């Protein structure tokens, strides 16, 4: 049996769509209730529906052979899994944003609020900018508005959240999309996993990463 860990929440629907297009019977998702484990006996598949970061953990530990998770999560929490495919869903980006009066070029040491300290630190380091990262758990957008920090690093999709809080994007950091990850021992052990990956690749139609 092959086990696939899926991220529940906002990328769930598009993930299921890809799996259905690849020929898997995803009917169970229609009335899943509060269930988090689904077994497709006909295709010898098991699906786990878990939080994003836990997808990576299940795959790393080999509990799941495959997983679908955002590249934001993979970047922030690197681990020993293989990245197999860019699924081209869950599209968004990391950006630096702040109130319109923010001046990124004034050579003052900046305070940056973020839920993603690794991405933010690596980005500013890559520009040789020494910043102070302030880790926030949620509603990062208010930090520059109330003067906690000079700017934020956060995920931007439509930009509506920024606009609603009177913030503007100053710089884009990197594109974010959902990826298919795999446990490396699983791939060596079970050739059917590679076949399954090929079926997904045929649907998303891009090169393996």
101 near ligand PRT, rule: CB under 6 A: no
φ, ψ of residue 140 to 5 degrees: the values are -60, -30
Q: Among candidates 185, 193, 199, which has minimal Cα distance to 62?
A: 185
Pairwise CA distance, residues 61 & 188, whole Å:
15
Residue nearest to ligand PRT (CB): 70
**CA distances, 88 to each of 9, 62, 178, 185 (Å):** 16, 24, 6, 25
2 near ligand PRT, rule: CB under 6 A: no
Residue 49 or 176 with smaller CB distance to ligand PRT: 176
Determine the size of the site formed for ligand PRT (CB under 6 A). Answer: 21
Choose, by CB under 6 A, the member of 25, 129, 157, 172 that binds ligand PRT.
157
Give the H/E segment covering residue 12: helix 12-21
Residue 134 or 194 with smaller CB distance to ligand PRT: 134
Three-state DSSP state, 201: helix
Choose, by CB under 6 A, the member of 42, 158, 205, 207 that binds ligand PRT.
158
Residue 126 or 160 with smaller CB distance to ligand PRT: 160
Q: At what angle do helices 12-21 and 191-204 cross, to 10 degrees?
A: 100
Residue 70 or 200 with smaller CB distance to ligand PRT: 70
- Other CB atoms within 10 A of residue 47 CB: 27
Q: Taking contact as CB under 6 A, which single stretch among the options 3-11, 97-105, 123-131, 187-195 is the one that binds ligand PRT? A: 3-11
CB of 186 to ligand PRT, least distance (A): 23
User: Contacts with ligand PRT in 46-65 (CB under 6 A)?
Assistant: 51-52
Residue 50 or 193 with smaller CB distance to ligand PRT: 50
Q: Is the torsion defined by CA of 147, 153, 159, 161 positive or negative?
A: negative
Residue ranges binding ligand PRT (CB under 6 A)? 7, 9-11, 51-52, 70, 72-73, 90, 92, 154-161, 176, 178
């Amino acid at each position: 049996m092959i086990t696939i860990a899926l991220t529940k929440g906002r990328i769930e629907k598009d993930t299921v769509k890809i799996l259905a297009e690849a020929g898997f019977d995803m009917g169970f998702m229609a009335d899943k209730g509060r269930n988090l484990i689904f077994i497709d006996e006909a295709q010898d598949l098991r699906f786990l529906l878990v939080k994003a970061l836990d997808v990576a953990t299940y795959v790393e530990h080999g509990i799941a052979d495959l997983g679908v998770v955002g590249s934001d999560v993979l970047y922030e929490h690197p681990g020993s899994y293989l990245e197999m495919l860019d699924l081209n869903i869950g599209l968004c980006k990391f950006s630096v944003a702040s109130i319109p009066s923010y001046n990124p070029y004034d050579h003052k040491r900046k305070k940056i609020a973020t839920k993603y300290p690794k991405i933010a630190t690596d980005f500013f380091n890559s520009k040789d900018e020494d910043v102070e990262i302030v880790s926030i758990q949620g509603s990062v957008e208010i930090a520059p508005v109330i003067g906690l920090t000079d700017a934020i690093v956060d995920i931007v999709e439509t930009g509506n959240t920024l606009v609603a809080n009177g913030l503007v994007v100053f710089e884009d950091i990197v594109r974010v999309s959902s990826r298919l990850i795999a446990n490396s021992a699983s791939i060596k052990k079970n050739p059917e996993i590679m076949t399954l990956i090929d079926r997904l690749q045929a649907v998303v139609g891009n090169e393996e990463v």
